[in-house]
Structures are given as structure tokens and as C-alpha cells.
Structure 1
Amino acid sequence: MESFNEYHIDPKQFPFLKNFQDNWQVIRDEYTSFINNASNEELKFTYDVLGPKSQTIKTKGKSKYSAFGILFQGMFIEKYIQAHQIKYPDYGPDEASKKALVLREKYFTNLANVIKDVNLIEDDIIRNVYYGTFHPGLDIKLHVNYNPHTNRGYLGLIVPEGDVAMKICHDQLYWHEGKFLVLDHSYPHCPHNYTSYDRTVLVVDFFKPDKPRDEVIEFEKEQVTQRMQDNPYSLGVFGKSDKAKEEDFIKYGLAHQLEWDKALI
């Protein structure tokens, strides 16, 4: 029987996540269909434009983390690009927005419909939705995601057997296909994939339901404004505050990882 605490949260507390979980195979199939059938141009555009980029979260060696999505800060990606007038080297905001809409409608209609249904009923509680892939050998430095207004749900889509896990505080947690792992990412954590295969999940960030909605909306607005000024390609997901401080290691009994993290370059 699983044990839950303040940072590893029971998904059953959030009934709206069941909409995603009930459709997990369809959501997975849309992802695999896109990966297998998209043109090289579509793939390049997706990872250049639709993927949130971090300037602070570091990985070991050459192994990477890749991500792309269709919803950011409660807006579908084509609207988010327009709202923030994001400038890309190879695309203007109008061109990027139009291409993003075409891709979303071509490949991710079922996922988009699940998001729409949940946000219609739950007053736009879903904030970010993107696919995240850990490539083989991935090690990510200990970090925090300073989002005290949201929780992060991971819906397992493609999870290989073996040592692919999330270390958070005193726990090592695992993903499972068709199930949610829900975490409060304001606690320090560091995931890894020591298998020979990709691990892909659907990341679903959502407002903490127990917090006043007007307060979390205002916090999100201020946070996203700052993050977009610092790094518009973060899509408001990552920021400078994600970097763990030495006191984070000590506070959560992770001082032994300081030397290990320093070795990650």
C-alpha cells in the first residue's frame, strides 16, 4: 500500500485527474503517432517552439530531457505564443502561432478535448500540459520548481522496467503506465533514468484546490511575467528560482548529495 505525505500526494484527492487517466492509452497513442509519423520539419518546430526550456536545471553529461506540450499557464500553445509575442529565430509570432495550432489539431485532438472538458468543469484548474521524456542515462541535478500554487501530476505513458525514478526528499518514487504520480515540486528533487530506454509521461500542472483561486491566479500572473522576461522560451514553466540552494540540501537531510551534485556538469 502506497504511503503519502506533504510532497507525495494521493491522486485520488483530485478527481478531475481521472479524465486524463481514463484516456491514458489514447493520449499515449497520439504521442507515439506523432513521434512516428511527423515530418522532420514538424519535429524540429515542435522541439524548437512547443517545448519549455530551462536555463537553470542541469543534467549530467550528454544525456538529455526533452519536452513539448499544448497548454501553458491555462492557454493553448498557439494563444500563449500570441499573448506573449514570443520571438523565435526561425519564426515570427504569427507564423509560430499558426503552425502550433495546425500541429495541435492534427495530432493532439483527444488530449486537447480532455483538457477542455476538465477546465470547463473545474474553472481552468489545469495550467500546463506537456509530454516529458527522459532519455537513457539521464541524471538531473537536485532542484526545486518554485510553484507553491500548483501540484504536478505525471501520467505514465511509456515507462521501461528498471531504475527510472524520482528522488524527492527522503523517498525514491516510480512512475507506472496508466497511473498518476502527484508531487509538490517546491520540495527538492532529482530524477534519473538509468535504463536503456526512453521514459515518457504526460506532465499535468494544476492549481492546488485548497488555495483561494484569486490569490493563485495573481501569483501565477506575477511569476509568469518575471519568468518570461528572464527567458521567454521557458513558456512560464521554469525560472531562476528553480535552482536549489545549499540550505535546501541541509534542510531536507540531503547534504550527502552536495558533492554528487557538484560533479554533475
Structure 2
Amino acid sequence: MKTFNEYHLNPKQFPFLKSLQENWQVIRDEFTHFIHNASDEELKFTYDVLGPKSKTIKTKGDAKYSAFGILFQGLFIEEYIQVHQIKYPDYELYEASEKALALRQKYFPNLAKVIEKVNFSEDNILRNVYFGTFHPGLDIKLHVNYNPHMNRGYLGLIVPQGDVAMKICHDQLYWHEGEFMVLDHSYPHCPHNYTNYDRTVLVVDFFKPDWSTEEAIQFEKEQVTQRMQDNPYSLGVFGKSDKAKEEDFIKYGLAHQLEWDKALSMNS
């Protein structure tokens, strides 16, 4: 589906995304090099520390979603850890920050350069940048991402053929390698991956142009403070407000998903 509307936005509206898109193969190669060459210790640290965790968004069954990134709320991860004084069970604060910096410099120097270039010229418009992987069989329950001040872009890096899609409102949208999909995630949505292969994108959250920078930063500050109090491992990305309303499930023909809660509560 190539048409655009109020929730499926034309990436060309956001010219600053072009720098990331032009470097998509370099960014993809940094990701695959990391996945194939990182040590077990580095991988564990990455998913423990660099991956935003949600307590609200649920998946059906055992299929997993994994994520990790280097920019959160406009700060590189090593600075974000220190600013918010995040306490990890397996790492001291400054150890976590130093390891995060070393890992970013070792594996993702080109991605970091592109982020710095965009944010230098565009008044820190990029807020979160992380890799998101849908593993085979993933089926995520209907939810919202309550970020009225931001849009979310997905840069396709590794997209298998087959039924891997985003259902938003009554549309089914598809990722494509080397292209951005941009959504307003305040609308209810539920993605899935019914293929036998991983799907990986670069998730890029950025301020909406119709918000002033001052308004957006103030809103973000208040929102992130609350989210970090509720769940410091969310890295400010996810919160309790991500839960869809019961009427949304019915409106979009997904009432059956309400039954998942019974199975999920048994599995959790």
C-alpha cells in the first residue's frame, strides 16, 4: 500500500530522514556484523542494557521481539544511563555507561555519525534510534504508543518476503528494504511476522514538525520522568499509556485478542 493518510505518512515530508536512508546498507551491515561477531558477553549486555523494555505491550505465545539502540530521548545511550542514574542488577552505573560507549564506538560508528549530523543540523529532532527485530511467528497485541509529540519511522534493513506487516486501523502496511515507513503511532496498531525469518528495521522516533521544539522537549521531559519512575528499563520509550482501549479491539475487528490475556497471564 503506497497511499498516505493521517497515520501512514509520506517520508518525503521529513527530508532529514534522507541521510539515514542513503546510508541504509552501511547501517544494515553494522547490525549484521554485530550480530555475527559480538561475543556472548557483548550480546547479553546489549539486550540487558541497550534494549528498551515494555511491561505493557504483549505478544501472543512464545514468539519474540528484540530491540537495542544507541539513542534515547536525544541522548546517546551512555549519557542517558548517567542522566537517569539507571541501576542494573549485573552492572554498576559507570560500568554500564562505559561499556555502552565502547560498544557503540566499536560496532556502530557510522550510524552514530549520521545521527550526529542530522541532530546538529535539525535542532536535535531525532529522539530514539534503535534496531527492532521481529522473530518468526511474532504476533503483537493491539496497542498504541502514546507519543503525541513524535512520529515513528521504520527504515527497512532486513525484510523477508511473505506475511510480515503492520496492521494499523483497517490497513495492512509492509516494510521494504532501504525505504522508510513513517507512522503516527497514537493510532492503534498491531504488527506480525508470519514468515520463517527475522525482520529487522531501524526504528527512528522524531519530533513532529507542527510541535515547537520547546513544547516537544517539555512534554518529553514530563513523559519520560513518569515512564522512568514506572520502569527504568523502558529507556523512556514505552509506558503504561501504550495500552489500547477495549473498544479499539472491537472497532478494528480484533476482539479475539482480548482472549489472549488469559493465556498471557498463565505464561507470564
- CA drift at 1:260: 3.0
Question: For residue 248 of structure 2, what is the amino acid of its counterpart?
Answer: D
Instruction: Tell me which stretches of 4 or more aligned residues in structure 1 moved more than 6 Å.
Output: none
CA contact (8 A) 2:249 2:258 kept: no
Tell me the distance in 1 between the aligned counterparts of 2:228 and 2:3: 37
The answer on 1:262 being equivalent to 2:256 is no
Tell me the distance in 2 between the aligned counterparts of 1:258 and 1:85: 40
Tell me the distance in 1 between the aligned counterparts of 2:157 and 2:77: 21
Tell me the distance in 1 between the aligned counterparts of 2:126 and 2:258: 32
- CA drift at 1:262: 2.1
The answer on 1:192 being equivalent to 2:192 is yes
The answer for the alignment partner of 1:92 in structure 2 is: 92
TM-score, with length taken from structure 1: 0.97
CA contact (8 A) 1:131 1:202 kept: yes
Tell me the distance in 1 between the aligned counterparts of 2:260 and 2:65: 18
The answer on 1:125 being equivalent to 2:122 is no
Question: For residue 132 of structure 1, what is the amino acid of its counterpart?
Answer: G
Please list the CA deviations of residues 189-220 of structure 1 after superposition, one character each: whole Å capped at 9, or x if unmatched.
00000000000000000000111111111000
CA contact (8 A) 1:142 1:261 kept: no
Please list the CA deviations of residues 86-114 of structure 1 after superposition, one character each: whole Å capped at 9, or x if unmatched.
00000011000000000000000000000
- Map 1:89-168 to 2 at 5 A: 89-168=89-168
Tell me the distance in 2 between the aligned counterparts of 1:221 and 1:130: 20
- CA drift at 1:173: 0.2
The answer for the alignment partner of 1:39 in structure 2 is: 39
Question: For residue 254 of structure 2, what is the amino acid of its counterpart?
Answer: Q
Residue ranges of structure 2 left out of the alignment (5+ in a row): none
TM-score, with length taken from structure 2: 0.96
Please list the CA deviations of residues 4-36 of structure 1 after superposition, one character each: whole Å capped at 9, or x if unmatched.
001000000000000000000000000000000
Tell me the distance in 2 between the aligned counterparts of 1:203 and 1:108: 15
The answer for the alignment partner of 1:237 in structure 2 is: 237
- CA drift at 1:176: 0.2
- CA drift at 1:159: 0.2
Residue ranges of structure 1 left out of the alignment (5+ in a row): none
CA contact (8 A) 2:168 2:189 kept: yes
Question: For residue 176 of structure 1, what is the amino acid of its counterpart?
Answer: H
The answer for the alignment partner of 1:212 in structure 2 is: 212
Tell me the distance in 2 between the aligned counterparts of 1:92 and 1:258: 44
Tell me the distance in 1 between the aligned counterparts of 2:200 and 2:244: 25
Question: For residue 98 of structure 2, what is the amino acid of its counterpart?
Answer: K
Tell me the distance in 2 between the aligned counterparts of 1:30 and 1:68: 13
The answer for the alignment partner of 1:171 in structure 2 is: 171
RMSD between aligned alpha carbons?
Answer: 0.9
CA contact (8 A) 1:165 1:191 kept: yes
- CA drift at 1:2: 1.7
- CA drift at 1:246: 1.2
- CA drift at 1:249: 3.2
- CA drift at 1:172: 0.2
The answer for the alignment partner of 1:202 in structure 2 is: 202
Tell me the distance in 2 between the aligned counterparts of 1:118 and 1:202: 15
Tell me the distance in 1 between the aligned counterparts of 2:57 and 2:237: 12
Tell me the distance in 2 between the aligned counterparts of 1:263 and 1:233: 25
- CA drift at 1:53: 0.1
Tell me the distance in 2 between the aligned counterparts of 1:126 and 1:258: 35
Q: Secondary structure of the residue that 2:51 maps to in structure 1?
A: coil
